[in-house]
Amino acid sequence: MIASFRERFGPTQQVRVFRAPGRVNLIGEHTDYNLGFVLPVALDLATYIATAPSAGGRLRIYSENRQELREFDVSQLGSVQPAREWTDYAVGVAQELVRAGVPVEGANLLVRSTVPDGSGLSSSAALEVASALAMLAGREFDRLELAKLCQRAERNFVGMPCGIMDQYISVFGRAHSAVEIDCRSLGHRLVKLPEGITFIAVNTMVKHALSGSAYRDRVRECAAAVEGIAAVYPDVQSLRDVSPEQLEGVASRLPDVVARRARHVVTEDARVNRFVEASLHTDVTGMGKLMVESHRSLQHDYEVSCTELDFLVDAALEIEGVCGSRMTGGGFGGCTVTLLRAEAVSDFRTKIARNYEEKFGVVPGIYSCEPSEGAGEVKNFETIPSLG
Ligand code: GLA
């Protein structure tokens, strides 16, 4: 990567490399913007950015994946408009850094990512966090503020009203652990996963066009639910504050769709807590059941699944050694995550790939979900992967 950087941007004294991982969410879907709980792990799949300062006030960003170079004048960054392409994540971050009082200086950036695009494994947050670290170039910055700044970049510049999960886990991920995030207090705790099991993500390889607009609709529907429930329980500020019993009492006052959206969120929050308990008690069967309940709730109440995801979940549950499976991320394509016994992995990979290909004529991507460290500077360049 360093050689590739020098070839493109010329010989430079010192090149630094920053890494930010993608994620898979084990449980707690569409709960983050309702200020509830989520349980993601940071992945080995990550975005790497090699960078060095450059004279002349230009910010040059080259994507190895896309083989595209984009160039900006740092004094004009504030007036750049979204281009609806990959650079928006980096430019959005640059604008937020400037807003936070951090000057963005002329620099060259070379981006390499092993997080598959559009896979629901959070390639956008990985690019945002890696860009922020590259532009900070080693300057001190509070880690929680970093996650929040990257979320603001996505909300304000890219225009996606996302929650905090993806940026947070990219920053705070930890090897060997899942991370339970409280999206209201923005604190977290590390959750040890039982021995002898593993998680595998399977990529449908589709991203339905609906995903962006449906996400916005869900955010609005949740706000409508809060408004309706607060008419009865004035203390309720978000769905996080609503117990399953309270919801049952008021559900008939809400439009049916709104009530179902709220039921997903309220029951999903409870499932995260039960899943963490089950994990701490090495109750693998219990964990698996909760994942399937989560999927059914996303499929029928929240309606963010799709044929391909449902097929992968149902097919996984037929395979020996599988304890549970569900869609992960925003939905309408992307990946499922499956909990299975370690010794069943190779058989699972073969069978799920064959079944999916037979049905849809597409070979699914399959990724191991070994929990990895959160974002930071790469000191050992040998660990940087090449592009497949
Ligand atoms: C996307 C968003 C996250 C979260 C998930 C659904 O990944 O970026 O903030 O809302 O969808 O859980």
pLDDT tens digits, 261-320: 999 999 999 999 999 999 999 999 999 999 999 999 999 999 999 999 999 999 999 999
Asked if 282 contacts 308 with a C-beta cutoff of 8 angstroms, the reply is no
Q: For position 209, what pLDDT does the model report? A: 78
**The whole model's pTM is what?**
0.98
Residue of 166, 241, 269, 301 with catalytic role: 166
- The whole-chain average pLDDT of the chain stands at 97
Local structure of 112: helix, strand or coil: strand
Measured distance CA(307)–CA(315) in Å, rounded: 12
Segment 195-211 mean pLDDT? 93
162 CA → ligand 1 middle, Å = 6
Question: Does the C-beta of 178 come closer than 6 Å to ligand 1?
Answer: no
**Looking at the predicted structure, is the pLDDT value of residue 7 above 90?**
yes
Question: Does the C-beta of 30 come closer than 6 Å to ligand 1?
Answer: yes
Q: What are phi and psi of 5, to 5 degrees?
A: -60, -50
Question: Does the C-beta of 29 come closer than 6 Å to ligand 1?
Answer: yes
Asked if 325 contacts 337 with a C-beta cutoff of 8 angstroms, the reply is yes
Residue 57 Ramachandran class (φ > 0 left, ψ -120 to 50 alpha, else beta)? left
User: Cα dihedral angle (248, 254, 260, 261), rounded to 10 degrees?
Assistant: -110
**Which atom of ligand 1 is the closest one to the Cα of 25?**
12
User: Distance from CA of residue 343 to its chain's centroid?
Assistant: 27
Asked if 295 contacts 327 with a C-beta cutoff of 8 angstroms, the reply is yes
Angle, CA of 160, 166 and 171, to the nearest 5°: 130
Asked if 371 contacts 177 with a C-beta cutoff of 8 angstroms, the reply is yes
Local structure of 224: helix, strand or coil: helix
**Looking at the predicted structure, is the pLDDT value of residue 12 above 90?**
no
6 CA → ligand 1 middle, Å = 36
Question: Does the C-beta of 163 come closer than 6 Å to ligand 1?
Answer: yes
Side-chain-side CA neighbours of residue 33 (13 Å): 21
Measured distance CA(152)–CA(131) in Å, rounded: 14
Non-local (6+) Cβ contacts of 135 within 8 A are 51, 93, 94, 97, 102, 104, 107
pLDDT digits (tens, 9 = 90+) for 116-150: 998 999 999 999 999 999 999 999 999 999 999 99
Q: Strands of 16-25's sheet, edge to edge?
A: 68-73, 58-63, 107-113, 40-53, 16-25, 376-377
Asked if 327 contacts 349 with a C-beta cutoff of 8 angstroms, the reply is no
Q: For position 214, what pLDDT does the model report? A: 95
Q: For position 225, what pLDDT does the model report? A: 98
Read off the pLDDT band of 13 (50, 70, 90): confident
Query: Is 166 tagged catalytic?
Result: yes
341 CA → ligand 1 middle, Å = 27
Question: Does the C-beta of 150 come closer than 6 Å to ligand 1?
Answer: no
Q: What are phi and psi of 203, to 5 degrees?
A: -95, 120
